[in-house]
Amino acid sequence: MSETTRPEVVDGIRRWVKEVFNEHRVDRVETLKVADYVDWNPYPGQDVALNGFKGVLEEFLESFPDFRYDVDEELFEGDSVVCVGKWYGTMQNDFMGLPASGAPVTARRTDAVRFHGDKMTERWGVGNELRMLRFLGVAATGEEVRGAATFEDAVHGYLDAVLGRFDLAAVDALVDIDAVSDAAGSLVHLCVVGALDDYAVEVTGVRFDGDTATAEATVRGTFARTLWRTAPSGAGVELPLTVTLRGAGATLTSVALSYDLEAMAAALGAPAGEAAGEPTTPTGTAGDGKFVLRAFVNEVLNGRDVSAVSRLVAPGATDLHQETVTTAAFLHAFPDYRFSVERVVVDGTRVSLLAAFAGTHRRPLMGHPATGTAAITRSIDIFTVTDGLLSDIIYGFDMYSLLTRLEIFPEKGRYPGVSAG
């Protein structure tokens, strides 16, 4: 078998986007994919083989005849490519049991694809299908789709529904799809969410200054799992948090979460002298993006080591806030979560991580009560790695596939568990 070259992969993925997605030439599917192609992230009821993908694509393009996909970024390594972009379309015909709404949709998606020559052999993909459903006027049972009339409404709605209750419908309604957040602050928050039982937020005050709001809050909970390399005490803790929000009209465009790390260290009994640690390059093969990402997964995502955030994340690094909140919702609902690295693609300073997230559904998720079901889903994340530090993070979490595994969206042909918003 001949080795696949980078020019073949570049040609294959760009022809796919141009001819199949943007020119809607479904007849090109067979010529751009191998006969035994496998889709590892099918829609409910879709066969993972080539014909299954083609059937869903035909139905999708009939429902969204003005569908367009714009690639924001491509990463290439060996026989693999990772693409991240946004798609646009207007629902003009029924789709998988949903009646035509005439609603315009914008959603982000990320795909990791392997090639043999210039033909696709297998694909992993994550896209925000739940965002698509909400744009079409439906929401998961228990959710309430609602927007805001003013910036002040958006801020208060965010603090209550998003920060306090992980309401993903509120994220879509209140937060711009391209809204950014401070990556280090977001990661510390993910560590906190993963470590606490009985998570709750009390907002003690909000100050408004034009298009900026600053909220002071206290995160409360039971210290139930390791945090900052400190064994859980089972005691209640109170962690001071400052939230800075910016907006354009009634839509939030950036969110920064800033914990008082010295107060957190004192509350937890964390290792002395690490509350204000300076970023340092990891030891070992520090310039190796694969090494840095594995350290990130082991120390931050799985280990909830707050001090590792400053060691691994560059000052000023940003992430996309909608996907960060989606990840937080998963960590809260699956307290025994575990992340594992499946594939890493490195293209210069840009690195993509395909990770599996596994855990047991022990707390409500998007209005659905805990099922006790063990489930697994994936994310495809993209980072910049410079001098051993991560920045410019784009998370892509497959919440939709997780919900199908929990049998919230189990069947092709209709969407059980959704109702008019």
Q: How many Å apart are CA 43 and CA 45, to the nearest integer?
A: 6
User: By three-state DSSP, how is residue 130 classified?
Assistant: helix
Domain, as residue range, for 50: 6-127
Do 262 and 409 lie in one domain? The reply is yes
Residue 37 confidence (pLDDT): 86
Residue 97 covered by a domain: yes
Q: What pLDDT digit, counting tens, does each position of 1-39 carry?
A: 468 999 999 999 999 999 999 999 999 988 888 888 888
Do 120 and 181 lie in one domain? The reply is no
Among the three residues 105, 127, 149, which one is the final residue of a domain in this structure?
A: 127
The residue written with tokens 């694969």 in the block is: 290
Residue 202 covered by a domain: yes
State the total domains in the chain: 2
Do 332 and 259 lie in one domain? The reply is yes
Residue 273 covered by a domain: yes
Do 362 and 228 lie in one domain? The reply is yes
Among the three residues 82, 98, 127, which one is the final residue of a domain in this structure?
A: 127
Do 201 and 223 lie in one domain? The reply is yes
Residue 313 covered by a domain: yes
Which residue would you say has higher pLDDT here, 40 or 97? 40
301: burial class by Cβ within 10 Å (0-12, 13-18, 19+)? buried
Output the 3-class SS for 394-419. Answer: ECCECHHHHHHHCCCCCCCCCCCCEE
Residue 132 covered by a domain: no
Do 118 and 169 lie in one domain? The reply is no
Residue 231 confidence (pLDDT): 95
Residue 116: CATH number of its domain: 3.10.450.50
pLDDT band at residue 67 under the 50/70/90 scheme = very high
Helix H or strand E segment including 307: helix 306-312
Q: What pLDDT digit, counting tens, does each position of 123-140 carry?
A: 988 877 666 666 666 555
pLDDT above 50: residue 279: no
Do 76 and 175 lie in one domain? The reply is no
Residue 341 covered by a domain: yes
Q: What pTM did the predictor assign? A: 0.86
The residue written with tokens 């990320």 in the block is: 110
Do 111 and 146 lie in one domain? The reply is no
Residue 131 confidence (pLDDT): 67
User: Could you tell me the two tokens for 271?
Assistant: 């290792």
Do 121 and 152 lie in one domain? The reply is no
pLDDT band at residue 54 under the 50/70/90 scheme = confident
Do 232 and 381 lie in one domain? The reply is yes
Residue 411 covered by a domain: yes
Q: How many Å apart are CA 412 and CA 403, to the nearest integer?
A: 13
CB atoms within 10 A of CB 204: 9
Do 111 and 226 lie in one domain? The reply is no
Do 77 and 155 lie in one domain? The reply is no
Contact 337, 195 (CB under 8 A): no
Residue 33 confidence (pLDDT): 85
Among the three residues 76, 105, 127, which one is the final residue of a domain in this structure?
A: 127
Residue 300 confidence (pLDDT): 96
